[in-house]
Amino acid sequence: MPKLSNLILKPIYYIYERRLYSQIKDGPVPKHVGIIPDGNRRWASTNSLSFEEAYSEGYKKLKEVLIWLLDLGVKAISVYALSTENCAKRSSQEVHVVLRYIKKGELRQEVKSRGKRGPKIHKERLGGTAYR
């Protein structure tokens, strides 16, 4: 059964999203947007879910936001998904879950399906190992 807070928040977020869209649809579109996903573990704890489920939901929301930004015409989007500080604080299992979503490739396919140039994925070094 959905929590009462979810039943209340869903319509509020819908209204909030529409309001944001109406504020920017006719104005200048930013050339670059940076996103730092945060709060998946807190959200999981609040909703009595595992961190795997929380990252799955976070990934879905990130995909939704990226599609929205692409549709608005934003040319560059940076997602700072995993910092070296987070790698040090998280279990290897949790880091693996995040890396699995990064490697999944759905977001790249979504960009290309919208006729946009494919995203550039920067391969940075993490803890001495290059993740590709």
Catalytic (active-site) positions: 38, 86
- Which has the closest alpha carbon to 61: 26, 17, 122, 24? 17
Residue with tokens 């960009």: 111
Give the count of beta carbons closer than 10 Å to the beta carbon of residue 78: 13
Strands (E), the chain: 32-35, 76-79, 125-126, 129-130
